[in-house]
Amino acid sequence: MPTSDAEGKDWSLEKFRYHLPNTVTDVGPGEGTYAKLFRPVHEGVWWTCIEVHGPYVKRFRLKSTKTRRMYDEIHVEDVRESEDHLFYRDLVIFGDLLEHVERDDAVALLQRAEAAGAWNILVSVPIVDSPQGEVDGNPHEAHLHQWDADDMDAVMAGLGGKVETMRGSTLGVWWWNRNA
């Protein structure tokens, strides 16, 4: 669904406050959960989003306006086909996104973000059985991989750097930082 469980958001917000990134790419923003949560904390951040389902841009009013700040730059495309420069950011968010692609694609995306120069990577995925098919005519909402928290721990550790983790009852959240 284009929404996100509230679990782990307070933890993520604390990590955001600590790192205070100036450039962010939010992959699969849906309704813009992270932009809504993080933007009030740190003004002047350049927000980019990559959204595969074009109708969400209008439905959730993702484009920034003079009176409403969401995303400064919007790319409607499959992130697996996105240019690497979109990952060269202070923070790349994969919030409730990696369960929507096959595991190998998810790992490749995380490795691409690290290789492209992301300074921080935020990942949030369900860590309980969460089958889901198409939602509101959007086939990209289907869950294609069920993550195990230990598996994601290993994937994130494989990027090098420093990894912090929050495991909830529904979601697991990882904050990776390039500093080792």
Return the CATH architecture of domain 9-177: 3-Layer(aba) Sandwich (3.40)
User: What pLDDT is recorded for position 60?
Assistant: 84
pLDDT at 139 over 90: no
Question: For the chain, what is the mean pLDDT?
Answer: 89
Q: What is the C-alpha separation between 44 and 53, in angstroms, rounded?
A: 27
Dihedral sign for Cα 6, 141, 49, 150, please. Answer: positive
Task: State the average pLDDT over residues 131-158.
Answer: 78
How confident is the model over 3-32, as pLDDT tens digits?
Answer: 456 788 999 999 999 999 999 999 999 899
pLDDT band at 140, cuts 50/70/90?
low
User: What pLDDT is recorded for position 1?
Assistant: 41
User: What pLDDT is recorded for position 4?
Assistant: 59
How confident is the model over 90-122, as pLDDT tens digits?
Answer: 999 999 889 989 999 999 999 999 999 999 999
User: What pLDDT is recorded for position 156?
Assistant: 98
Q: Could you tell me the maximum CA-CA distance found in the chain, to the nearest angstrom?
A: 43
Measured from the Cβ of residue 151, the count of other Cβ atoms closer than 10 Å reads 16
User: What pLDDT is recorded for position 73?
Assistant: 95
Q: What is the C-alpha separation between 9 and 124, in angstroms, rounded?
A: 9
How confident is the model over 25-60, as pLDDT tens digits?
Answer: 999 998 999 999 999 999 889 999 999 888 888 888
Q: Where are the beta strands (DSSP E) in the chain?
A: 23-27, 46-51, 73-76, 91-95, 120-126, 162-167, 171-177
Instruction: Please say whether the beta carbons of 71 and 48 come within 8 A.
Output: yes
Query: Is the model more confident about 167 or about 69?
Result: 167
With a pLDDT cut of 90, the percent of the chain lying above it is: 69
